[in-house]
Amino acid sequence: MKGFKKITALGMVLSMTAAMATGCGSSSQTAASTDDTAASAVAASAASTVATDSASAATSGASAAGTFTADESLKGQSISFLNSKGEIQEALETMAADFEKETGITVEIQACGTGEVPYTKITSAYNAGNAPTMAMLDTTDIIALAKDYALDLSNETWTKECSGYLTKVDDKVYSFPFCIEGRGLIYNKDAIDKTLGTDWDPSSVNSYDSLKALLEQLSAAGMETPVVISHEDWSLGAHQLGYIYDTYDGTTAGAKKVMSQLKSGELKPADYERFNEFMDTMDLLLKYNINKDDPNGSLYDQDAMYVAEGDAAFWANGCWAWQDMKNAGADPDGKYGFIPFVLGNDTSDFANTSMQASPTKQVMIDNKLATPEQQAAAKEFLNWIVYSTTGQTDLVTGCAVIPACTNNTVAPADPLGKDIQAKMAAGKTYSSSFVAPSDHWSVMGAAMQKYIGGESTKDDLAKALSDYWTAQK
């Protein structure tokens, strides 16, 4: 209980903008963000944020479900769990109840309030001396807190089950990857098949030219605007523009290198191949955008409806969009899935054959206030999620997330999750998670909004991107 640092609201604000995980009390349409992190966050981030190639996850050693055995000595322990993914609060409470039945350990699921920022809540808890035993946080938050506040989990058995999706700081594992989210171009295969009058093969789109040809065919066949581009700043500034970082080499380290070179001025956006490829693809998608008459006046719920009802074939988005599509009438048994946000014409390029998929929520165990017994009980909870039949099922079907551990073969309930999971198993994903300042998605999102609205040029956008990074301290 003694010896923990008081966290001050100083230093660089970081946020994981690679994927829009649901924050405390927020919807999947808002960006995950952090409050001001301590200066140590910068050092931690610089030390190493590593998510290794997802292909390795497919070959990691695995232990089947049902191998979990409860530690009787931990019966009667009580621990707490801070949940920053508000939409699964009820599912986590059910999971906690199931865990208690099988282990005798009580887990209190603490919810963030509407509008609360997870980082702010956890740091406030530490400053007050009442931090939860476990906390589900965004990856950037884990990086900021890891060395000072999180238990080293490097030697836990489950690390080999999810080796392709581990985040490391100074080569140590401080968190459990709770869920994977992927992004690209969501497709409605039934709508494409009906329009073209043929059985369309999603794998046939593996280059700019093949995507261009398909969009031309759909438009000529009657679906004049087969693409949905949402105007939200988090979508444009994080999910879409984020490809220029994540596709450097498909690793978090590579994304970090790009951002470092942009920051120093060594790399100019206009001279960066991925930026130019991204702009070519974005221009192509905008040409066929169903919202092109008023690209910044669209409604997100309507965007979901366009794809769900088959008025459009593609939506630039991620697997978190399923709930919105379902609410718009999408059939859970429908033929929905992903093709990559293609970049250039190299059909062997991983960016054109694989999906971006990475951990968006991580669980850390407190290393400052929790007793050794509570820490052991928290480890038991994570092991139960990974190795028990109930835990695996609760995670996937109850919480409706894609598991990072490859020994969990429970199929997601929704088609987008199923598609990402299948691509993970086939080694058709890459696990880069770019970590940028928290205002990246809003500042660059606004710049992207100007571009899609015809208020700026490609050169203007390149300058805005360059100015943004060179202004970083």
Written as one string, the DSSP assignment of 87-141 is GGHHHHHHHHHHHHHHH--EEEEEEPPTT--HHHHHHHHHHHT---SEEEE-HHH
> Whose structure tokens read 């606004």?
446
Mean pLDDT of 189-218: 98
**Both tokens assigned to 441:** 């998605």
pLDDT of residue 360: 87
**Residues 49 and 435 sit within 8 Å (Cβ to Cβ):** yes
Helices (H), 129-272: 139-149, 189-196, 208-220, 233-234, 243-246, 252-264
Query: How sure is the predictor about 237, in pLDDT bands with cuts at 50, 70 and 90?
Result: very high
Examine the pLDDT at 8 and tell me if it is beyond 60: no
> Which segments of 145-297 are extended strands (E)?
168-169, 172-173, 176-188, 227-228
Q: What mean pLDDT do residues 331-345 have?
A: 97
CATH 3.40.390.10 for the 183-356+437-470 domain, yes or no = no
Q: Where does CATH 3.40.190.10 sit in the chain?
A: 14-181+357-430, 183-356+437-470
Structure confidence at residue 63 (pLDDT) = 53
14-181+357-430 has CATH 3.30.2080.10 classification: no
Sequence letter at residue 209: D
Mean pLDDT of 55-62: 36
pLDDT band for position 183 (cuts 50, 70, 90):
very high
The Cα 27–Cα 25 span in angstroms is: 7
The Cβ-side half-sphere exposure at 104, using a 13 Å CA radius, reads: 9
pLDDT band at 230 (very low <50, low <70, confident <90, very high): very high
The Cα–Cα gap between 195 and 145 comes to 51
User: How far is the CA of 197 from the CAs of 15, 185, 228, in angstroms?
Assistant: 44, 21, 22
Q: Note whether 449 and 236 are within 8 A (CB).
A: yes
Looking at residue 140, its pLDDT comes to 83
Taking the C-alpha atoms of 437, 435, 139 and 53 in order, what is their torsion angle to the nearest 10 degrees? 180
